């Protein structure tokens, strides 16, 4: 049990301890922090007050980004997590540690890590089936490759932004119903509810990373909103996939939940048929039982379940390195839109409103098919923790700003 007030019943209790990068009004330098209840433990201050400050771990914890710490690997991650747990549970240390805690309300959150490469997958069978039905109504919903490999594309790492960043409505080429090509703001501006995985330990070019090495390389999890302009996408995506419809911004949560905190959230992943190739097999195949929630201007419109995903993050990691592509610290890959079988489990507004055919009525009485300027979208999630506890995976939120003139 932690001595920090409120930690016992908090989704950010001692069993969670997510990492972030924060600054405060009286100390504007970004630095690493760990969340406990409604407080942030300042890791730079912890290190500067310790007898050791120049070992690799202490240097990494004094950084302004998680990358150096993530690069150290699982042994260092476990040791630091253990030390932080001790510091926040040993009541004899409360007097020393308390002054290093900042109220979360005073913390301004930054990108928690410096993104390397960014890959976005397409791993929900329900989402892929829904989109196939809408985008290619006269063809089979799933393309022939879909159950043989986790389909993905390389996204734009430089436009990954922290939760809370305003999102400017993108403009681009649009195809009108009568076959003209015009330029203008997207009128079918959408979200994608996703879960992202951050790579800590790199790999060498020309080598592969097996699915079973997932927990040795991947540091943790953040929520993702992969904003998507459906009208731009429809016109541009064939034959090479998404490009400007998604590259303008991708929002991520500012708290990285370590994989270690999700040990109790492991559940069996869906069975795969047909059998996958040997490099995609897992000796211990599991999913993470994350319950996602999507709210549109404050009203919950969907509750997708991450455990339903057909391809696991371990398989995605194996697939994206099977050709010998190397990993760098900070590489980031997202699951693809998380949609379940139910109408109330759809992870994009394209699916929620069935391409606009079934508008959503918001609490103010207005209706929506796609995003309007000023709309706010928040994705949050919970996961089971140890001993009946619950984890909150923070949130990723964004408000739509009008397109540029």
Binder among 226, 236, 331, 395 for Mn ion (CB under 5 A): 226
Q: Number of residues interacting with Mn ion: please give it, by CB under 5 A.
A: 3
The 27-46 contact track toward Mn ion, x by CB under 5 A, reads --------------------
Stretch that binds Mn ion, among 21-29, 117-125, 250-258, 300-308 (CB under 5 A): 117-125
Hey, CA dihedral for 96, 99, 105, 109, is it positive or negative? negative
Query: To the nearest whole angstrom, how small is the minimum distance from the Cβ of residue 393 to Mn ion?
Result: 18
Q: What is the C-alpha separation between 313 and 309, in angstroms, rounded?
A: 9
Query: To the nearest whole angstrom, how small is the minimum distance from the Cβ of residue 194 to Mn ion?
Result: 6
Query: To the nearest whole angstrom, how small is the minimum distance from the Cβ of residue 96 to Mn ion?
Result: 45
Cβ closest to Mn ion, residue 133 vs residue 264: 133
Query: To the nearest whole angstrom, how small is the minimum distance from the Cβ of residue 335 to Mn ion?
Result: 8
Among 15, 16, 126, 127, the one annotated catalytic: 127
Stretch that binds Mn ion, among 106-114, 190-198, 282-290, 381-389 (CB under 5 A): 190-198
Query: To the nearest whole angstrom, how small is the minimum distance from the Cβ of residue 331 to Mn ion?
Result: 16
Q: What is the C-alpha separation between 44 and 60, in angstroms, rounded?
A: 9
Burial class (CB in 10 A: 0-12, 13-18, 19+), 332: buried
Q: Are 386 and 153 in contact (CB under 8 A)?
A: no
Nearest to 325 by CA among 229, 207, 190: 207
- Site for Mn ion contains 120 (CB under 5 A): yes
Hey, CA dihedral for 297, 163, 102, 218, is it positive or negative? positive
Stretch that binds Mn ion, among 137-145, 159-167, 192-200, 280-288 (CB under 5 A): 192-200
Cβ closest to Mn ion, residue 58 vs residue 128: 128
Q: What is the C-alpha separation between 166 and 251, in angstroms, rounded?
A: 10
Query: To the nearest whole angstrom, how small is the minimum distance from the Cβ of residue 347 to Mn ion?
Result: 9
Cβ closest to Mn ion, residue 192 vs residue 236: 192
Query: To the nearest whole angstrom, how small is the minimum distance from the Cβ of residue 337 to Mn ion?
Result: 6
Cβ closest to Mn ion, residue 120 vs residue 395: 120
Element (H, E) at 67: helix 67-71
Q: What is the C-alpha separation between 303 and 126, in angstroms, rounded?
A: 14
Q: What is the C-alpha separation between 189 and 227, in angstroms, rounded?
A: 8
Alpha-carbon torsion, ordered 217, 222, 227, 230, to 10 deg:
60
Query: To the nearest whole angstrom, how small is the minimum distance from the Cβ of residue 348 to Mn ion?
Result: 9
Cβ closest to Mn ion, residue 65 vs residue 124: 124
- Site for Mn ion contains 351 (CB under 5 A): no
Cβ closest to Mn ion, residue 22 vs residue 310: 310
Stretch that binds Mn ion, among 189-197, 267-275, 288-296, 355-363 (CB under 5 A): 189-197
Cβ closest to Mn ion, residue 32 vs residue 350: 350
Cβ closest to Mn ion, residue 88 vs residue 195: 195
Distances (CA, A) of 118 to 160, 327, 335, 371: 9, 11, 11, 25
Q: Is 127 a catalytic residue?
A: yes
Sites for Mn ion among residues 279-298 (CB under 5 A):
none
Stretch that binds Mn ion, among 50-58, 114-122, 204-212, 360-368 (CB under 5 A): 114-122
Element (H, E) at 43: helix 43-48
Q: What are phi and psi of 280, to 5 degrees?
A: -100, 0
Element (H, E) at 343: none
Stretch that binds Mn ion, among 90-98, 118-126, 159-167, 386-394 (CB under 5 A): 118-126
Binder among 42, 125, 190, 192 for Mn ion (CB under 5 A): 192
Sites for Mn ion among residues 236-265 (CB under 5 A):
none
DSSP secondary structure string for all residues of 154-219: E--GGGEEETT--EEPPEEEEE-TTS-EEEEE-SSEE--EEEEEEE-S---TT----GGGHHHHEE
Positions marked catalytic? 127
Binding site for Mn ion (CB under 5 A): 120, 192, 226
């Amino acid at each position: 049990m932690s001595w920090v007030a409120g930690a016992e019943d908090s989704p950010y209790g001692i069993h969670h301890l997510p990492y972030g990068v924060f600054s405060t009004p009286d100390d504007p330098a970004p630095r690493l922090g760990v969340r406990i209840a409604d407080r942030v433990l300042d890791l730079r201050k912890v290190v500067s007050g310790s007898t050791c400050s120049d070992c690799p771990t202490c240097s990494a914890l004094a950084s302004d980004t998680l990358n150096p710490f993530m690069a150290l690997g699982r042994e260092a991650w476990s040791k630091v997590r253990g030390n932080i747990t001790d510091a926040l549970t040993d009541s004899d240390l409360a007097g020393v540690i308390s002054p290093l805690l900042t109220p979360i309300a005073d913390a301004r959150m930054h990108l928690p890590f410096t993104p390397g490469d960014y890959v976005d997958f397409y791993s929900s069978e329900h989402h892929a089936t829904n989109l196939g039905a809408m985008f290619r109504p006269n063809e089979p919903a799933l393309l022939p490759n879909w159950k043989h490999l986790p389909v993905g594309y390389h996204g734009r790492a430089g436009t990954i932004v922290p939760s809370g960043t305003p999102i400017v409505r993108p403009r681009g080429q649009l195809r009108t119903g009568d076959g003209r090509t015009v330029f203008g703001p997207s009128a079918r501006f959408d979200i994608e509810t996703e879960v992202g995985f951050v790579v800590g330990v790199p790999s060498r070019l020309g080598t592969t990373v097996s699915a079973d090495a997932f927990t040795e390389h991947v540091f943790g999890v953040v929520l993702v909103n992969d904003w998507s302009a459906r009208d731009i996408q429809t016109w541009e995506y064939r034959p090479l996939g998404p490009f400007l419809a998604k590259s303008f911004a991708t929002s991520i949560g500012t708290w990285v939940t370590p994989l270690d905190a999700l040990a109790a959230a492991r559940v069996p992943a869906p069975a795969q048929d047909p059998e996958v190739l040997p490099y995609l097999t897992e000796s211990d195949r599991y999913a993470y039982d994350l319950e996602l929630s999507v709210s549109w201007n404050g009203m919950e419109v969907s509750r997708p379940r991450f455990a339903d995903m057909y391809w696991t993050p371990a398989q995605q990691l194996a697939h994206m390195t099977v050709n010998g592509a190397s990993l760098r610290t900070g590489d980031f890959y997202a699951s693809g839109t998380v949609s379940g079988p139910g109408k109330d489990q759809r992870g994009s507004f394209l699916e929620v409103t069935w391409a606009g055919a079934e508008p959503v009525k918001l609490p103010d009485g207005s209706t929506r098919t796609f995003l309007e300027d000023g709309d706010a979208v928040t994705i949050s999630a919970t996961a089971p923790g140890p001993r009946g506890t619950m984890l909150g995976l923070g949130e990723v939120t964004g408000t739509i700003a009008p397109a540029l003139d």
